């Protein structure tokens, strides 16, 4: 299995609180991604990074920010969590153009 770890695996938080999810890799892959998965929508890209301190927005980036200060870590922050951000969040890593993307096990976030 590719060395990719998400933490925490499960989290329940209250509306309005900040939340940070962590993705850690040991593969030295250049690209890292954050996706959310909701019923009826499949996986949707939130943000991705193509290098240290190099990030770009995905299709559902509103309400989320990311940071990548080291190759191995990609952080996703919800500055003020809302109930619409209840979802399963997946981190992925890739070394384009031909290597496959490896996914973490996911983080189930519930905002109450």
Point out which residues bind other proteins (CB under 8 A): 30-31, 33, 35, 40-45, 48, 50, 90, 92, 94, 96-98, 100-106
Indicate the residue among 37 and 69 with the shorter CB distance to other proteins: 37
How many angstroms separate the CA atoms of 12 and 5, rounded?
19
Q: In angstroms, what is the minimal distance from the CB of 10 to other proteins?
A: 11
Q: In angstroms, what is the minimal distance from the CB of 16 to other proteins?
A: 29
Q: In angstroms, what is the minimal distance from the CB of 103 to other proteins?
A: 3
Count other C-beta atoms under 10 Å from residue 14's C-beta.
9
Indicate the residue among 98 and 112 with the shorter CB distance to other proteins: 98
63: alpha, beta or left? (left if phi > 0; alpha if psi -120 to 50):
left
- Cα Rg of the chain (Å, integer): 13
């Amino acid at each position: 299995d590719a060395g990719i770890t998400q933490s925490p695996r499960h989290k329940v938080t209250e509306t309005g609180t900040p939340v940070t999810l962590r993705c850690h890799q040991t593969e030295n892959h250049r690209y890292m991604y954050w996706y959310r998965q909701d019923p009826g929508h499949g996986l949707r890209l939130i943000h991705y990074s193509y290098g240290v301190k190099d990030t770009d927005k995905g299709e559902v980036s509103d309400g989320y920010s990311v940071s990548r200060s080291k190759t191995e870590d990609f952080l996703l922050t919800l500055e003020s969590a809302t109930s619409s951000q209840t979802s399963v969040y997946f981190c992925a890593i890739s070394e384009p153009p031909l290597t496959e993307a490896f996914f973490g096990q996911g983080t189930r976030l519930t905002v109450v």
